[in-house]
Structure 1
Amino acid sequence: MKSISPEELTRNPFQMIGKDWLLLTAKKGDKVNTMTASWGGVGIMWGKPVAFIFIRPTRYTKEFVDAGNKLSISVLDDSHRKTLSYFGTVSGRNEDKIAKSGLKLEENDGVPYFADADIAFICEKLYSQPMDAKYMTAGWIDEKWYPSKDYHTMYVVEIEKAMIK
């Protein structure tokens, strides 16, 4: 993969996040876990290129993200849709889903990412905050997306390195 500055990206973020989906990957000790995500965003905050990611408390990957300061975000093309769906429905608590996926895991400065990705971001956590229904100004959000009251934690992560195929 070739390193570029985040500002050089030409992919539409709405397509990349909402349609192509992402893999959020983090390391805890000598273990790595990943999950599929289709919510998030990119932008500038605190003078840095950042991504906004959201993880429910029940997700095993959250333990990995919370355990360290670094994570990766990988964007894979549509040929990996079945694998992305698998990563979103099977827990790493129950099986080694990365090994079963056939995707190639690599590391950049100790941060795991997928070499199969079209784009990979190496990120550092800057901020995290659990979401709370009292701040949802549109009531339908809580009703539609949180019937179990399992509110996401929002993370703001600095994109330290962007890599493309």
Structure 2
Amino acid sequence: MEIEEVITYHIPKQDDVSPIAVFIINHDKGNFEVTITHRGCAWTARLLTHWEKEVEKFISTHASVDSLVHSFSRNQTSKEEKLVRPVIESIRKYFKSIEVANYKAPEGFVLVSSPELLDLILIINQIDLLTTENRPEAVSSHLVSLGNRIQDMIKALEQSYEHS
């Protein structure tokens, strides 16, 4: 079995779980050997991800916490599983954050994080459509609406900072 790549992650402390190191050996075509080290303990499992090319995505999205805990527990005791579970959950959370940070929206789509921003995007799309239809009066009215919504968001943001 040939080793295609070795990936190392150093996951900082999060949710009361101290730092974790994860070592991933990609043997070939969805056949991964994953070693986790945490507070002087180490767990290794071979994960067959089948359809998923990235074991990180498999761990964060497709595999259940229970199946991962079972895979990594050395002796399948409840004490071992209790020790491994928060570590696995922390790794899943970290890998999910990497996915979100690296996610690129398909061309023509914009990612938004709040309903207020979605409203702005919709107004901008309407302005774009009205511009292509050569309707300057309607464009002008939507630009005023957009400006008002932005001012309302600024006021709300300022008020939230004052109350913090």
TM range (shorter): under 0.3
Q: TM-score, normalised by structure 2?
A: 0.22
Please identify the structure whose Cα radius of gyration is greater.
2
Q: Between Structure 1 and Structure 2, which shows a larger proportion of strand residues?
A: 1
Structure ranking higher in helix proportion: 2
TM-score, length basis structure 1: 0.22
